[in-house]
Amino acid sequence: MKFLPAFLFILPALCFGKGEVLNPDFVEDTTPWEEIAVQLPPYPSDRNLAPFEVSSATSNKFMIDTASISVGQDKVVRYTIVIESPRGARTVNYEGLRCDTMERKLYAFGQSDGKWSENKRAAWESIKVRSLLSYHKALFEDILCDVGIPVRDAEEAVRKLKQSAGSH
């Protein structure tokens, strides 16, 4: 029991290190997250489509409309995705990705007449990272997020898209 008082004096030095002081100005941001209002982008043009690799387990072609990419103040990366089957059928969606929570949201569906149909049931859903066929997984892990942090801007996203396409 003689050593207990000495231990109590040494413990803070071990925990905080010599000369380290807790930052008294550090204040954790406790404001609740709020999504910004979303405006649908122009319908994608083929000249702006950048392909990216999802998995060798799918024969579909996955492309992002580079003109539609944005990173909002709410830290949501928004983009238009075009998925093309081997026979040429296309699915066009306008979506959002939250890197910090690993969630996705489908804002609108593309129609064959080149117009958007808003998703009335849009809600944040978890990304399935175990599926080889999940393009959301590929976007989250390889292109739009880096360890839960979104790309800084559209230019960084386009650069990472081109790197992804070139590496396969």
142 or 82: which leads in pLDDT = 82
pLDDT band at 128; cut points 50, 70, 90: confident
CATH number at residue 121: 2.40.128
Q: Is residue 10 part of a domain?
A: no
- How many separate domains does the chain show? 1
| Per-residue pLDDT at 4 exceeds 70 | no
Task: Tell whether 66 is covered by a domain.
Answer: yes
What mean pLDDT is predicted for residues 20-30? 59
CB count within 10 Å of CB 46 equals 8
Ranges assigned E (strand) in the chain: 49-52, 61-71, 76-84, 90-98, 103-110, 116-118, 125-126, 145-146, 149-150
Residue 20 belongs to some domain of the structure? no
Please indicate whether residue 90 or residue 13 has the higher confidence score (pLDDT): 90
| pLDDT tier, 11 (very low <50, low <70, confident <90, very high otherwise) | very low
Residue at 153 is within a domain = yes
Which pLDDT score is estimated for 22? 56
CA distances from 6 to 3, 21, 158 (A): 5, 21, 58
Q: Residue 158 sits in which domain range?
A: 46-166
pTM for this entry: 0.78
